């Protein structure tokens, strides 16, 4: 099955209906009972802002639905293709009938239509888009380049968006809820779940900027490298425990210490650092 075959015509048909509301070739425009409409199982959107949904519901109560939803016939009922927010808001307003465009569409096109309609209207968060990209690639066995052409994005955008799916479930949720930004999320890709949780909670609790988060991630990675180096030296038969003990004690005195081979380095940034070193060795004598 060729991806996107006939999809442009369907999208154009929908857009024409939105613009003039007239009856279209191979489609019908009418009012449908909201209880007869089933949600699109391929709808990529998972999160709905309750406040914005209520605002839309209030607007529909006052002004009516200005833009119809799009559905297709499904046995006894109807299946939603586009407009889930409008359908939810209409139900929230207690209105039983909704304007709808009925079109003939193959089930194989439902995921494509739902994804592209949402992307074109900028309705999805980045994680929902990532899962949609992944679903299309899996369903149609296409490359990143082919998907990029379908959704009018660059190949690098597709690849970088898909990388977000390697984040932990917690990190994905916080990104979806806008608790952290995309810039924050990119920095923690590749870290363990525990490290991600620590950093994400720090971003939210301390309101860290992307720059501050980058410094925190770098520190964690440097600490991991130092631990690996120590373990490697231990495996080679060296015993540096007394040396590392001294280094750990100096670190507790707010000094930056790095163990390197058979010696350690103390970074001095201020007069206070010098006084802390002197005080440590004085107390140790």
Active site residue: 13, 15, 31, 84, which one? 84
Is residue 84 part of the annotated active site? The answer reads yes
Looking up tokens 């970088």 gives 160
Question: Is the pLDDT at 265 greater than 80, yes or no?
Answer: no
> Which residues, at least 6 apart from 60, have a Cβ–Cβ distance to it below 8 Å?
86, 89, 90, 93, 95
The answer to whether residue 271 scores a pLDDT higher than 60 is yes
The confidence score (pLDDT) of residue 50 equals 81
Residue 77 reports pLDDT greater than 50? yes
Q: Mean of the pLDDT values across residues 183-205?
A: 93
* Per-residue pLDDT tens over the stretch 148-175: 887 778 999 999 999 999 999 999 999 9
CB 174 within 8 A of CB 200: yes
Give mean pLDDT, residues 103-124. 64
Q: Which helix (H) or strand (E) holds 47?
A: none
* Of 21 and 227, more confident: 227
Candidate from 143-147, 178-182, 212-216, 227-231 with smallest mean pLDDT:
227-231
The pLDDT, as a whole number, for residue 11 is 43
Q: How confident is the model at residue 42 (pLDDT cuts 50, 70, 90)?
A: low
CATH code matching the domain that covers 7-106, chosen among 3.90.1530.30, 3.40.50.2020, 3.40.50.300, 3.20.20.80: 3.90.1530.30
Please choose, from the candidates 226, 268, 228, 216, the residue with its C-alpha nearest in 3D space to the C-alpha of residue 248.
226
């Amino acid at each position: 099955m060729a991806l996107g075959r006939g999809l442009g015509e369907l999208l154009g048909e929908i857009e024409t209906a939105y613009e003039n509301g007239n009856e279209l070739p191979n489609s019908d425009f009418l009012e449908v009972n909201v209880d007869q409409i089933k949600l699109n199982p391929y709808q990529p959107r998972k999160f709905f802002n309750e406040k914005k949904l209520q605002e839309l519901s209030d607007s529909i109560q006052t002004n009516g639905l200005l833009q119809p939803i799009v559905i297709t016939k499904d046995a006894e009922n109807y299946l939603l293709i586009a407009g889930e927010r409008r359908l939810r808001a209409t139900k929230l307003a207690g209105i039983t009938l909704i304007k709808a465009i009925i079109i003939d569409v193959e089930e194989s096109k439902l995921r494509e239509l739902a994804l592209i309609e949402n992307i074109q209207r900028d309705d999805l968060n980045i994680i929902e888009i990532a899962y949609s990209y992944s679903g299309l690639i899996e369903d149609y066995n296409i490359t990143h380049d082919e998907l990029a052409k379908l959704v009018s994005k660059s190949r690098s955008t597709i690849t970088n968006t898909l990388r977000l799916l390697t984040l932990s479930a917690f990190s994905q949720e916080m990104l979806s809820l806008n608790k952290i930004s995309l810039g924050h999320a990119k920095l923690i890709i590749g870290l363990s779940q525990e490290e991600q949780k620590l950093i994400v909670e720090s971003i939210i609790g301390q309101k860290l900027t992307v720059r501050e988060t980058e410094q925190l991630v770098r520190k964690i990675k440097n600490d991991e490298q130092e631990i690996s180096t120590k373990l490697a030296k231990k495996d080679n038969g060296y015993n540096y425990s007394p040396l590392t003990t001294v280094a750990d004690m100096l670190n507790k005195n707010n000094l930056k210490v790095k163990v390197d081979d058979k010696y350690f380095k103390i970074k001095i940034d201020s007069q206070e650092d010098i006084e802390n070193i002197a005080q440590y060795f004085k107390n140790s004598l």
